[in-house]
Amino acid sequence: MHGLLETLQFVYAPQVVNGLSIGVAVILMALGLTILFGLLDVINMAHGEFYALGAYLAVSLLAAGVDFWLCLLVVPLLMLPLGYVTERLLIQRVFNRKDRHVLTLLLTFGLGIVLEDAYRIVFGPNTVRVDSPISGAANVLGMYFPNYRLFVMGVGALIIALVWVVVFRTRLGAMVRAAAHDRQMASSLGVPVSRVYSGTFAFGVALAGLAGVLLAPIYSVFPTMGKDFILLAFTVVIVGGMGSIKGAVIAGLVLMQIQALASLYISPVWTEPLLFGVMVLVLMWRPQGLFGKLGNG
């Protein structure tokens, strides 16, 4: 009755495109996590709450009459000093201890809980809707897709490329990588290691905030929103390899395609256990992840 071609066009293609758009969103979150782990050796459990902070800052700025497009620029800039101070006041205190992984994990986990409750007190427990700055839908080959999601896909891909360029193709990125690779040597060669660490943390936090602004019109804004993406983002980072940017991108795209296509046959609710299952398998057979180098971020 319905040809194979038609099924491909109307059933599979929209699902694949949708998987791509969710993939870009998850990669944006995973990117900050993997950079902080790869370069700073810090597992940032409060990453989701920084993402929520970005969204709430955007909500406040929009309410004050600031244009959405300006928010995309202003919010990450506001997040930079915040991340810098957080690193200086909290992370630095435990960074040089022997059990750094456990301490930073617990510290940021606690920070996340405090932040989430703070949002509840300051902004109230209810969901805030953010109007989409681009309305309407595009008709691509007979397949409808919301314009704003197409925009997020494009901008997301651009941000991912920019981050890669900054880390691997600029002098600043080289300094950061040097500081991460051998702290003493970098320091003796004149790299201001402590400030580079704070700056990198601030960069990761700003990235989370930017993701918060970009995704607010799609997912709405609420105090526990950080929890929604953080599990998926951690899964992507673990499967891709802790600390690997390439790994995060590839794992993000692959995992979200698995989710999108599986959603055609099982309830979408059950696709998350499926992804966590993949993560468990990766941890069992290749604990360093697809592209990770264990022991050296």
Partner 1 sequence: MKRKSVATAAAGIATLAVALATSTPAMGQGNPIRIGVDTPISGTYAPIGQQVKWGLELATKEINAAGGVMGRPLQLIYEDGEANPAVATQKAEKLFQVDKVDFLTGTVNSGATLAVGQVAERNHRLMATTVSFADSITGDKCSPNVYRVNAKAGQQSAALAAWLAKAKPKARVFFLGPDYEMGRSTVAAFKAAAEQKGATTVGEVFAPLGNKDYSPFFGQIRAARPDVLYTSVAGNDTVRLFTQLDEFGLLKNLQVVGASGTVTSQNMGAIEKAAEGFVTGVGYSPEIDTPANHKFVAAFRAAYKTPPDLYGADSYGVLYFYKAAVEKAGSTDTDKVRAAMADLVWATPQGSKTMRAGDHQAMQVMYTVKFTHGEFKIISEVPAAEAIGPDDCKRF
Find the binder of partner 1 among 36, 208, 236, 260 (CB under 8 A).
Answer: 260
Shortest spacing between CB 286 and partner 1, in angstroms: 28
Q: Which residues pair with 137 in a beta bridge?
A: 146
* By CB under 8 A, residue 134 contacts partner 1: no
Pairwise CA distance, residues 148 & 133, whole Å:
7
Instruction: Using the rule CB under 8 A, give the single segment among 30-38, 78-86, 198-206, 267-275 that binds partner 1.
Output: 267-275
Residues 39-68, interacting with partner 1 (CB under 8 A): none
| x/- track of binding to partner 1 for residues 186-225 (CB under 8 A) | --------------------------------xxx-----
- Residue 248: how many other CB atoms lie within 10 Å: 34
Q: Which amino acid is at 268?
A: P
Taking 3-state DSSP, the helix, strand and coil percentages for the chain, each rounded to the nearest 5, stand at 75, 5, 20
* Segment near partner 1 (CB under 8 A); pick from 37-45, 50-58, 139-147, 286-294: 139-147
What number of other Cβ atoms are within 10 A of residue 94's Cβ?
15
Smallest distance from partner 1 to CB 8, Å: 11
Instruction: 87-93: list long-range contacts, CB under 8 Å, 24+ apart.
Output: 87/197, 87/198, 87/201, 87/202, 88/198, 91/40, 91/42, 91/197, 91/201, 92/194, 92/197, 92/198
Nearer to partner 1, 68 or 145 (CB): 145
Say whether residue 126 binds partner 1 (CB under 8 A): yes
Rule CB under 8 A: is residue 8 a binding residue for partner 1? Answer: no
138: amino acid identity, one letter: A
| Interface with partner 1, residue 15, by CB under 8 A | yes
Interface residue with partner 1 among 99, 144, 168, 277 (CB under 8 A) is 144
290: tokens are 């697809």
Part in contact with partner 1 (CB under 8 A); list of ranges 2-10, 75-83, 162-170, 235-243: 2-10
Is 145 near partner 1 (CB under 8 A)?
yes
Q: Find the shortest distance in angstroms from Cβ 231 to partner 1.
A: 14
Q: Which of 70, 93, 114, 125 binds partner 1 (CB under 8 A)?
A: 125
State how far the alpha carbon of 121 is from the alpha carbons of 16, 115, 229, in Å.
Answer: 39, 10, 22
**125 DSSP assignment:** S
DSSP 289: -
Q: By C-alpha distance, which of 191, 190, 194, 155 is closest to 173? A: 191
3-state class (DSSP) for residue 102: helix
Q: Which is nearer to partner 1, 107 or 253 (CB)?
A: 253
Q: Least CB distance from residue 198 to partner 1, whole Å?
A: 33
List residues binding partner 1 (CB under 8 A).
Answer: 2, 7, 10-11, 14-15, 18, 22, 124-127, 129, 137, 139, 143-146, 218-220, 228, 259-260, 263-264, 267-269, 271
